[in-house]
Amino acid sequence: MALSSCISQASYGVGVLSLTSQSYSKTTRILLSRIRDLSLLPRFPVTRVCSVSPREPSSGQILASITDISLNQSVEKIELPKGDMWSVHKFGGTCVGNSERIDNVANIIVNDNSERKLVVVSAMSKVTDMMYDLIHKAESRDDSYISALDTVLEKHRLTATDLLDGDYLLSFLSRLHHDINNLKAMLRAIYIAGHATESFSDFVVGHGELWSAQMLSFVVKKKGFDCKWMDTRDVLIVNPTDSNQVDPDYLESEKRLQKWLCQNPAKIIIATGFIASTPQNIPTTLKRDGSDFSAAIIGALVMARQVTIWTDVDGVYSADPRKVSDAVILRTLSYQEAWEMSYFGANVLHPRTIIPVMRYDIPIVIRNIFNLAAQGTMICRPSVNDNADGQHVESPVKGFATIDNLALVNVEGTGMAGVPGTASAIFSAVKDVGANVIMISQASSEHSVCFAVPEKEVKAVAEALQSRFRQALDAGRLSQVAVIPNCSILAVVGQKMASTPGVSATIFKALAKANINVRAIAQGCSEYNITVVVRREDCIRALRAVHSRVYLSKTTIAVGIIGPGLIGGALLEQLREQTAVLKEEFNIDLRVMGITSSRKMLLSELGIDLSKWKDLLNLQGEAADLQKFVQHVHVNHFIPNTVLVDCTADSSVASHYYDWLCKGIHVITPNKKANSGPLDEYLKLRALQRQSYTHYFYEATVGAGLPIISTLRGLLETGDKILMIEGIFSGTLSYIFNNFTGERDFSEVVAEAKEAGYTEPDPRDDLSGTDVARKVIILARESGLKLELSDIPVQSLVPEPLKASASAEDFMQQLPQFDHDWSKKRQDADDSGEVLRYVGVVDAANQRGHVGLRSYKKDHPFAQLSGSDNIIAFTTVRYKEQPLIVRGPGAGALVTAGGIFSDILRLASYLGAPS
């Protein structure tokens, strides 16, 4: 718009006004006068028809004509074309931030095969802020507004030079320089007055959209397509409100759009976003996020097929991805869900943007201009069977949003109950200080009302309430007006939450697990939103906790591996091979969040890359700290379930099991120390296990990967009675006696077993029988016997003189001295048609157990083992004549790790994985 046109508009009635450079000071005086008097003058509707020749010599003369034309005197009456023929696109400032991006936008427009296209564009990135800064500088009488305006000019000149050439470039630059000269004059007037009215501010700021729309239209024309650009101030009519918003006048806007389309027929229309006019044709804006609003209004006017909002994200996330790494893109949102989430701070759309399209069920699609392959998010009226979000269909919750920097105000007192008008008086006082109430909560007792306001406004609110209720406070009818600072709001949104039982229980259970205290709660009767107030420092933890509970599978398990030695290393390799398959086929998501040895630990925020965990542990590992390790795995990730896998034989680690189970951490282990330790500690563990839903699995403590514990439990739980359990429980000793057949000496077989890795580093640990005794006591206790380890007699196979050997090497060197004794024992058994076996026995009938060397007939099942196999015979009331036998490999890191892995999968099945 020319400066003379602007002045004429302020003058209301001038026909043609010509200004020369010599009359500049007079112009300034007129402008100042009009700026002061604009809001006081009567307003007459006029329509601007501005015409400036782009090739006119720059003589310093600016011409403009103002013609008063009634809309009812249209040249011809043509119905506004409406319907699915139209597609509406809106491109934000980042989409048109530079020449390359503007060209990309043009390509998207021309590749859209819709019959008619209406494109709404924002100002180039940062330009709107730059224009507001110009006004602020001019009002502050800061001379730098001149250079700042030159920066705006240069930004657009360089961009246009990159994109355009020939007449298109000359035409745009002519318009650009023309507008800049007018702005200089207007800003000079504001500089002198020290003040700009809202109308003049809106006029200045709206130029960013004018330039981007004109530039984009020329780029589209350059590509060979018929295109017109629209100044939406000629079409969109809005009524300003007291709340710094505007209400569209749809009837008047439709009439003007019909007239514009009649006069400017084109298949592609590039329209300015953000700007509009009042019914008196005063330039105004649609306020912040106004370009989205422009697109929605125009989409509603033409009843478009859809409105596409192009931005720089792939769609609407289930939560802020900067706070929740597992946030997912939502395929669909209902209008109400988008409304709720945007109100509570989610980067969706301004709530008012949704109103126009809702009237005609026009979908809004949020798409990423930098990732065209992404489907984006569609905001629409949901169908009855809306399954668009795939695996999360079953969840009634769609998304989560937060608002920070709030304070709670609590007005409390017994004198409030049953007294009409108390709430009205409270919020009237809040209104008087101009504070915005974000959330309200009141119990049915009417004893207190609490509400949330921005923290910057809480002081004024508290003072207003103290003043308003001074008499009630002094008389004791109100006990206090309390302010609780440092609060945040967490909103849980979902249209399907309505009438779905258990949603609140799920949310609050997740918050409780994360140790989050809820300060206030609110839920409307529509049930689309559950709002809770938490401490500001707890907000992100609370957000992650509830999001994980809803969006992660019930069988997403945070895994911490303690002891990455032979067994732990083998388990990590098995997890590496199987986790992808388990996630894809069984919806079991196992994430190893930490690995710790006795010296170093490796922690991860998202899950350790198991293909290189050894290198990561060596290069990035920090000093081991078991307490920090557990805290990290369990608390910091808010995955629904946590399991610690203890692959050590360390009694100090086992001593923590009870505390971990109390915290809701599942425990899986091959470590026998807890279950074979002091009886009272074992009984505490089992009692806790029965009373809670936290699981403690230890199948691999007896028989490595063999199902011995589960078989015993199955017998007992189905009512069978254990009479005796007898077995070869040591894979090491099984290997030794299976290979001690007379062809080699006993010491040779032990050395071979040690070399093959079947024994402990010191073979005396196996030959002492203590390991077998621990397994016997575990089975005895599982059978209901209350025995201590010291109650089990153990026959040691370590010769008495060698028990005090200084080292394992010293022991192995001296062991051949006793080969003759072992040969005699073997020969005596062989002469009787028997073989030697080292066995453990649980004599449940007599409530005792023992461990030692026995001989068995060669046709006995125990005599027919090979390698390192274990064999266990259960003699019960049901299996009295013929014992139930479990047999298989009972030693080695791979089978033990397999037993642990089996326990992890059993835990997953208990937690809801498909069986």
Q: How many CB atoms lie within 10 A of CB 405?
A: 12
What is d(CA 608, CA 595) in angstroms, rounded to the nearest whole number? 9
What is d(CA 862, CA 874) in angstroms, rounded to the nearest whole number? 13
Which residues, in sequence order, are bridge partners of residue 379?
333, 364
Of 503, 482, 501, nearest to 492 by C-alpha is: 503
Alpha-helix runs per DSSP H in 636-718: 651-654, 657-662, 673-676, 679-691, 708-717
**Which residues have a Cβ under 8 Å from the Cβ of 29 and sit 6 or more positions away?**
none
Q: Transcribe 365-431 into DSSP letters.
A: EEEETT-TTS--EEEEPPPTT--TTGGGTT-S--EEEEEEEEEEEEEE-GGGTT-TTHHHHHHHHHH
Residue 775 annotated as catalytic: yes
What is d(CA 842, CA 838) in angstroms, rounded to the nearest whole number? 14
Which position among 775, 786, 857, 858 bears the catalytic label?
A: 775
Of 44, 33, 41, nearest to 67 by C-alpha is: 44
What are the phi and psi torsion angles at 317 (to 5°)? Answer: -90, 155
3-state secondary structure of 25: helix
DSSP class of 478: S
Q: Which two tokens stand for residue 551?
A: 């969006």
Q: How many CB atoms lie within 10 A of CB 748?
A: 15
Nearest 5 degrees, angle CA 744-CA 749-CA 750?
A: 145
Beta strands in 692-809 (DSSP E): 696-697, 722-728
Query: On the CB side of 429, how many CA atoms lie within 13 Å of its CA?
Result: 21
Amino acid of residue 609: D
* Contact criterion met (CB below 8 Å) for 671 and 654: yes
Amino acid of residue 571: L
Q: How many CB atoms lie within 10 A of CB 140?
A: 11
Dihedral angle of Cα 692, 693, 696, 699, to the nearest 10 degrees: 130
Amino acid of residue 842: V
How, if at all, do strands 307-311 and 722-728 pair?
A: unpaired
What Å distances lie between residue 49 and 6, 66, 234, 756, CA to CA? 12, 6, 9, 96
* Contact criterion met (CB below 8 Å) for 546 and 517: no
What Å distances lie between residue 363 and 84, 135, 298, 358, 369, CA to CA? 12, 37, 13, 8, 18
What is d(CA 687, CA 680) in angstroms, rounded to the nearest whole number? 10
* Contact criterion met (CB below 8 Å) for 842 and 785: yes
Nearest 5 degrees, angle CA 827-CA 796-CA 851?
A: 90
What is d(CA 125, CA 159) in angstroms, rounded to the nearest whole number? 12
What is d(CA 725, CA 732) in angstroms, rounded to the nearest whole number? 20
What Å distances lie between residue 11 and 7, 171, 430, 571, CA to CA? 6, 29, 41, 84
What Å distances lie between residue 87 and 20, 214, 311, 369, 683, CA to CA? 45, 20, 17, 16, 71
What is d(CA 385, CA 393) in angstroms, rounded to the nearest whole number? 10
3-state secondary structure of 866: coil
Q: Which residues are catalytic?
A: 775
